[in-house]
């Protein structure tokens, strides 16, 4: 009797457990339910597009992918990757000038080319009709001074709206090379004829703006909105690289964050086919991955530059400057010194190929 009672209790408990367990529908029922849920979500997505259209709907049938997951740029053709410029370079025979180096070339409105360069007297100039044969001009454009202008060199020029020219140049408190041995800053001067300049004062103070006492070798460009950007060699982070600063009036500059190009110095920028093309020099043995020579790199915005492509690789070259002859031809001038020969300015001409 006792055993029968226990058995009956077990049967009642089992029945209770089975009745409380969730029913698992057949596999086909699960799939059908999921499909119905998917259609409902697609309908919701289509409904939301009526208020926020993302693209033209060619068919009223439900798409395979919910429209809310398709990016807004789905129907916008992808832009092809920009091609990197390719040049065919040829060394120009002879030298452009001797007894001077650190060139900057400035194309005048009458088609002539003025070459500014440096020697112990300061910043001088030479003039040419063809960009190859230069005649030295008398006088000194910028003379050394005192303080942080004991040495002056590395000129660059922008034409300003009033018809005058503004020169930016490097001033240093000694002739000793390298950060920590002397202090370099950037100054400016103004001229109406490109020959007689009036000094305007300090533009970039390397001791106060994060350049660790080294703002050197400027290259200035006028942007389409009238601002002036100066690319220059900085010791920010205590490593040589190319930084930049921006100005609305050409006088008060604000340092731009980051480094434009690492491991290279002596910037020279030219616009080619809507690109910013920055030429620079590798002069430091520590950067073995970038052998000594002249290089260029490209940017779409003038701030982020791509890989460094050699123009040529050799020792004893520095300070490139660019003359844009036409949309497919440029000439790169550069300083060269091979003791016991005097410093000189030489050049390569490059034609865009492809």
**pLDDT tens, position by position, 277-298:** 999 999 987 766 789 999 999 9
Per-position DSSP letters for 329-350, written without gaps between them: EEEEEEEE--TTSPPEEEEEEE
Which residue from 307, 309, 294, 269 is spatially nearest to 347, judged by alpha carbons? 294
Q: Which two tokens stand for residue 171?
A: 């001033």
CATH fourth-level superfamily of 106-324: Glycosyl hydrolase domain; family 43 (2.115.10.20)
Top pLDDT among 287 and 103 is at 103
Give CA–CA dist 161/155, Å, rounded: 20
Give CA–CA dist 315/331, Å, rounded: 19
pTM for the predicted model, two decimal places:
0.77
Average pLDDT over residues 202-212: 96
Cβ neighbours of residue 47 closer than 8 Å, sequence gap 6 or more: none
The confidence score (pLDDT) of residue 81 equals 54
Give CA–CA dist 44/22, Å, rounded: 30
Give CA–CA dist 252/245, Å, rounded: 10
Q: pLDDT tens-digit profile of 153-173?
A: 999 999 999 999 999 999 999
Measured in Å, how far apart are the chain's first and last C-alpha atoms?
Answer: 104
The confidence score (pLDDT) of residue 239 equals 72
Q: Which two tokens stand for residue 243?
A: 């930084």
Strands 151-159, 135-136: parallel, antiparallel or unpaired by DSSP? Answer: unpaired
Q: Is 240 exposed, middle or buried (0-12, 13-18, 19+ CB in 10 A)?
A: buried
- Edge-first strand order for the sheet with 122-128 is 101-107, 113-119, 122-128, 135-136
Top pLDDT among 238 and 326 is at 326
DSSP state of 36: H
- pLDDT for residue 57 is more than 70: no
Beta-bridge partner residues of 336:
317, 344
Give CA–CA dist 43/38, Å, rounded: 9
The confidence score (pLDDT) of residue 73 equals 44
Top pLDDT among 115 and 73 is at 115
Cα 101 off chain centre by? 26
- pLDDT for residue 318 is more than 60: yes
84 φ, ψ (degrees, to nearest 5):
-80, 135
Helices (H) and strands (E) counted in the chain, each on its own, are 2, 22
The confidence score (pLDDT) of residue 146 equals 96
The confidence score (pLDDT) of residue 177 equals 81
Q: Band the pLDDT of 4: cuts 50, 70, 90.
A: very low
- pLDDT for residue 319 is more than 50: yes
Average pLDDT over residues 309-313: 96
Of 73-87, 118-132, 319-333, 334-348, minimum mean pLDDT range: 73-87
DSSP state of 216: E
**Kind plus residue range of the DSSP H or E element containing 149:** none
Residue identified by tokens 């002739």 is 175
Q: Band the pLDDT of 252: cuts 50, 70, 90.
A: very high
């Amino acid at each position: 009797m006792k055993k029968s009672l226990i058995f009956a209790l077990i049967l009642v408990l089992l029945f209770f457990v089975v009745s409380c367990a969730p029913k698992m529908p057949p596999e086909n029922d699960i799939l059908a339910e999921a499909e119905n849920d998917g259609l409902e979500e697609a309908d919701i997505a289509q409904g939301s597009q009526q208020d926020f259209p993302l693209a033209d709907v060619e068919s009223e049938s439900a798409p395979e992918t919910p429209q809310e997951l398709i990016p807004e740029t789905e129907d916008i053709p992808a832009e092809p990757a920009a091609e990197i410029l390719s040049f065919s370079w040829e060394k120009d025979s002879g030298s452009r000038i001797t007894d001077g180096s650190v060139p900057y070339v400035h194309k005048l409105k009458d088609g002539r080319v003025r070459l500014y360069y440096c020697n112990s007297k300061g910043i001088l100039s030479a003039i040419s009709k063809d960009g190859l044969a230069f005649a030295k001009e008398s006088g000194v454009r910028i003379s050394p001074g005192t303080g942080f202008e004991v040495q002056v060199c590395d000129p660059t020029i922008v034409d300003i709206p009033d018809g005058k020219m503004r020169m930016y140049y490097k001033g240093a408190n000694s002739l000793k090379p390298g950060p920590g041995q002397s202090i370099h800053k950037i100054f400016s001067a103004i001229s109406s004829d490109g020959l007689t300049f009036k000094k305007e004062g300090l533009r970039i103070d390397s001791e106060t703006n994060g350049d660790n006492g080294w703002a050197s070798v400027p290259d200035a460009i006028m942007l389409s909105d009238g601002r002036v950007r100066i690319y220059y060699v900085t010791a920010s982070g205590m490593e040589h690289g190319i930084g930049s600063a921006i100005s609305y009036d050409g006088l008060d500059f604000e340092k731009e964050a980051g480094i434009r190009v690492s491991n290279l110095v002596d910037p020279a920028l030219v616009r080619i086919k809507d690109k910013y093309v920055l030429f620079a020099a590798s002069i430091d043995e520590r950067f073995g991955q970038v052998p000594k020579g002249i290089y260029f790199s490209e940017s779409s915005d003038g701030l982020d530059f791509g890989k460094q492509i050699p123009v040529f690789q050799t020792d004893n070259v520095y300070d490139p400057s660019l003359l844009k002859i036409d949309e497919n031809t440029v000439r790169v001038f550069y300083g060269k010194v091979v003791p016991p020969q005097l410093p000189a300015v030489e050049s390569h001409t490059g034609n865009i190929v492809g």
